[in-house]
Structure 1
Amino acid sequence: MGSESGSGVLYIVATPIGNLEDITTRAEKVLASVDFIAAEDTRHSGRLLQSLVIRKPLVALHDHNERDRAGSVLDRVAAGETMALISDAGTPLISDPGYVLVRQARERGIRVVPVPGASALTAALSVAGLPTDRFTFIGFLPAKRSGRQSALSSLEQESATLVFYESPHRIIDMVQDVVAVLGAEREMAITRELTKTFESFYGGTAQQVLEQLESDANATKGEFVVMVQGAVPRAEALPGIDVDKLLALLCAELPVKKAARIGAELTGFSRNELYQRALALKGE
């Protein structure tokens, strides 16, 4: 293992997100060489290790016990043992446990070594067809609709591509909220079950993606990465637009909320800001 054969090391090891052939040669070597492995779900990870013909002691380390258990496993590393941290799939700490462990390891001066590999985040971005020069990873949005819409509203003017993870039982509700808050014409892409047998891709405007999901009987199964194109910066808004005049024309034909949404798409201004302005104009 060269420089990786020393004692007292914590390895952060990425594992496949679906296709087992995505395991790296280095990851296999590290997992086979360490004294013990901390896993989010020991039963799930046990099957992975069995497929790799690797037999190592497993310690459960997940959201519910990480704060209590981090100290004791790091005591073993500080005493000279080598340890690998893996999650159920992909790269640990990316919407998975491990932050407390790594933070404490750094504070104690323990060497922490990344062993890179699969990540649903970067895999999805690579095929989305959306800008990737800048992106903001949000992870999971709040489970309740009010919290989810509030979080999306706070991101309305973010110009970087937005990336979320979402669960199958909330995916349609989430896209409905994207349509309602960010606009039906905002471009987005969704990957489902990346690298697995039923890998799927949905893309287009938010409204088109919603329709694709609603017409797909399998769309509420599996694991999802949701990517939404960032807002057009205000500096790129169409020049020479009289916003008040535009809102007045739209409000003459449409409900205020819809007028504000269309106005936001045309000007780059905040939908909420235009909504309040439209209400003021109607009041006048």
Structure 2
Amino acid sequence: MGLLYIVPTPIGNLLDITYRSINILKKVDYIISENIKHTSILLKYFSIKNKLLKLNTCNEKEKKNKYIIMLNNGKNIAIVSNAGTPVINDPGYLLVKHAYYNNIRVVPLPGACAAITALSASGLKTNQFCYEGFLPKKQKSCEKKINSLCKEIRTIILYESPKRLIHTIKLIKKIMGSKRKIVIAKELTKKWENIKKGTVKEILNIIENNIYWEKGEITILIDGKKKNKDNILSSKILNIFNILKKEMKKSTAIKITAKICGFNKNILYNNIIKKKYNEVD
């Protein structure tokens, strides 16, 4: 029974590959590549001579069985993507899944990943985060997805194409607000690497009408939603409510207080009815 190695490759700077990765790529029987021409450049740079097999999103269903048979026959195979850690937003998931079905050992190697690299330099919360990959291309689906992330308290990591960057940032501004903190990281580990942090409004001002941001690999990080400090009701809000509740039902007083103060009526309900005013009408 052969081994299936998951081998990360550099996301920009070729020197970011590990010694272990080079050693594995030299000694396995085959290397499965997302793009043979692209991988050949890396192998040539490190004087690695090996047999390359192709696996991409178009042929993965067809090829996986062939490669599983090769592994079952004792061949050791390494899978690489164009850049970064294989299977993360890249082909290979089905192959790994079926390797487990066939009791084939999967050996992951540590290495480059744009999402984690960007997160480490973001200055945003790193102890809790979620990776969402690429947003849907269709407008409605994209808006729906961003809306679903609106209340996410963890740092959100996205990948985006440079052609859609401005459009995506504008949607984030529309749905999450102009003051939400975000980070955009372009061409990580390359000599023209650029990382910008600021509010959505500030970032939009930087990238709009700037052709520099129209090319390259982009990672977007969005600060998680902060706990609403307004959950602690001010004396002014409570005074308004106390005046109104003398003239009407509490539920009606809450609705009117919320409109006057620009406050969420559910927060008012939770704070006033549940915590302060438990008496029955």
Q: Place the TM-score, normalised by the shorter chain, in its bin.
A: 0.7 to 0.9
Counterpart selection for 1:33 from 27, 31, 44: 27
CA distance in 2, matches of 1:185, 1:174: 15
Counterpart selection for 2:107 from 110, 113, 126: 113
2:181 corresponding residue in structure 1? 187
Deviation (angstroms), 1:110 = 0.3
Q: 2:239 aligned with 1:213, yes or no?
A: no
CA distance in 1, matches of 2:136, 2:211: 25
2:94 corresponding residue in structure 1? 100
1:147 corresponding residue in structure 2? 141
Q: How many residues align?
A: 248
Deviation (angstroms), 1:197 = 1.9
2:216 corresponding residue in structure 1? 222
TM-score, normalized by length of structure 2? 0.84
2:71 corresponding residue in structure 1? 77
CA distance in 1, matches of 2:266, 2:141: 24
Query: Any idea what SS the aligned residue of 1:169 has?
Result: coil
Deviation (angstroms), 1:240 = 0.5
Unaligned runs of 5+ in 2: 238-253, 268-281
Deviation (angstroms), 1:144 = 2.0
1:17 corresponding residue in structure 2? 11
Question: Identity percentage over the alignment?
Answer: 36
Q: 2:64 aligned with 1:47, yes or no?
A: no
Mapped contact 1:91–1:118 kept (Cα < 8 A): yes
Query: Any idea what SS the aligned residue of 1:219 has?
Result: helix
Q: 2:159 aligned with 1:161, yes or no?
A: no
Radius of gyration: which is bigger? 2
AA partner of residue 42 (structure 1): I
1:278 corresponding residue in structure 2? none
CA distance in 2, matches of 1:190, 1:173: 14
Counterpart selection for 1:239 from 186, 210, 232: 232
CA distance in 2, matches of 1:144, 1:181: 16
Show structure 1 runs of 4+ deviating over 6 A. none
Deviation (angstroms), 1:248 = 3.9
Mapped contact 1:188–1:206 kept (Cα < 8 A): yes
Unaligned runs of 5+ in 1: 1-6, 251-262, 270-284
CA distance in 2, matches of 1:246, 1:231: 21
Deviation (angstroms), 1:162 = 0.6
CA distance in 2, matches of 1:182, 1:268: 19
TM-score, normalized by length of structure 1? 0.83
CA distance in 2, matches of 1:185, 1:247: 23
Deviation (angstroms), 1:233 = 3.2
Mapped contact 1:233–1:268 kept (Cα < 8 A): no
